[in-house]
Chains A and B, each alone.
Chain A
Amino acid sequence: MGAHILIVEDSALVVSALRILLEDAGHRVSDAGSVRAALDIARSDRPEVMLLDLALPDGDGLSVLETLSNDGLAPRVTVAVTGRDEPHIIARCKRLGCREVLVKPIRAMALPTQVAEWLAE
């Protein structure tokens, strides 16, 4: 039932809240605060779901997905989380294979249900 979920997000405050919610729903949660850390974790312990913040301290969040896809290691579901809902950003996420684009402030309480839906597909 439970899946491995990787939260790529540099705010420890946000991560801690999401972790409680997703662990409560029975998932195993890893987190990474940078592009580098995200690649390290995703390569050694491939997640089923990756929540990907687009603005990371060491670069563009989407480069994580791009690199993993090139290596054939993309998670089953990647969902982008962004502070900007400009059409070209959303289009770029979709092009790179994001299942969905969540615009901040995201409705975190709905996440467990959404994760279940993504995994059921």
Chain B
Amino acid sequence: MTRIGAGYHTVEERLRTLEERVEEQTRTIDELRNRDALKTQFLSNVSHDLRTPLTAIVTHAEILRDGILGDLSPKQLESICGIISGGRQLIGMVGEILMYARGAADQLSLTPTEFAIGTVIEQVTSQVEPLAVKKGLEIGVDVEKDMPPLCADREKITHILSNLLGNAIDFTEHGGRVWVNASRTTTVQSAASVLIEVGDTGIGIAPEHHELVFREFAQVDASASRHHHGTGLGLAIARKFVELHDGRIWVESAPGVGSRFYFTVPVHASC
């Protein structure tokens, strides 16, 4: 009797201890979530505040470049153009951080319209073409005939494509090849979708990093001596945008051979 009673008491006590522990863990998780949200908010505020002076710097430099305040010597012009492209690069990075912060805070929504995916691919490709040419890369586009029009957020699809294509160019050495293909496909739930492939013959990604690269701030080579400088947010944002459309994004790649990034967008997901 005493033993059973004591045992019962012990079980009850242990239960209570466990409950207390669960409560404590829940509090810790909540606390961490709050701090994470605060940091995201901080990131967003800082980026906002960086953007204003950056824009002013670039605009002042453009005023000088365009000769509004008088003529410049060719050397001065070259220097001013350096300020402008550096400033633009920074504005672009700040924009990525802001976009990421909004995604993390679930503040992103879709503004869908109907458009031809082929047109968007052409646009993005012609935008990055000078970069590719400068690096001596061959760039190819192949869009399947009679693709159905896509109803999606055109700006976001454009953003995904320029990020993937930008990476393909960044991580491919002189003389390599990059390409964009688009074709029809169906999802597991058999919804009509488009499948877009952005491929390159560049440095590739080791299998153990295939998941990692889609994480925010992840860079395979994060050493200070790395050649490539970016925020490490491009693919995290791309993934967010694809998922907003109920699509999927993944990579197939082998070091030294090249990478193929794929994403799908259901044709009618957003309309």
Contacts and interface: CB of A to CB of B under 8 A. Distances in A.
Interface of A: 11, 13-14, 16-18, 20-21, 24, 83, 86-87, 104-106, 108-109
Interface in B14-50: 48
Given A86-B107, A104-B51, 15 more contacts: A11-B56, A13-B53, A13-B57, A14-B52, A14-B55, A17-B60, A20-B63, A21-B59, A21-B63, A83-B48, A83-B51, A104-B52, A105-B55, A108-B62, A109-B66
B224 interface: no
B51 A105 contact: yes
Contact of B56 (A16, A24, A86): A16
A105 B109 contact: no
Nearest to A9: B52
B54 interface: yes
B63 A11 contact: no
A61 to B, nearest CB: 14
Interface residues of B, number: 21
Interface in B59-101: 59-60, 62-63, 66, 68-69, 91, 95
B122 to A, nearest CB: 23
Contacts of B55: 14, 104-106, 108
Contacts of B95: 105
A87 B68 contact: no
Interface in B83-139: 91, 95, 107, 109, 111
B158 to A, nearest CB: 14
A20 B67 CA distance: 12
A21 B55 CA distance: 14
Most buried by A among B59, B66, B68: B59
B66 A17 contact: no
A18 B59 contact: yes
Contacts of A14: 52, 55-56, 59
Contacts of B60: 16-17, 20
A105 B68 CA distance: 21
B109 A20 contact: no
15 contacts: A14-B52, A17-B60, A20-B60, A20-B68, A21-B59, A21-B68, A24-B68, A86-B107, A87-B109, A105-B51, A105-B54, A106-B55, A108-B55, A109-B59, A109-B66
A17 B69 contact: no
Contacts of A18: 59
A110 to B, nearest CB: 11
Closest 4 pairs (CB-CB, A-B): A13-B56, A17-B59, A108-B59, A105-B55
Contacts of B91: 105
Contacts of B109: 86-87
A108 B62 CA distance: 9
Contact of B62 (A24, A86, A109): A109
Nearest to B47: A83
B43 to A, nearest CB: 14
A47 to B, nearest CB: 21
A13 B48 CA distance: 15
B249 to A, nearest CB: 24
A103 to B, nearest CB: 11
Contacts of A105: 51, 54-55, 58, 91, 95
A17 B68 contact: no
A79 B56 CA distance: 19
Interface in B143-166: none
B53 A11 contact: yes
Interface in B207-264: none
B81 to A, nearest CB: 14
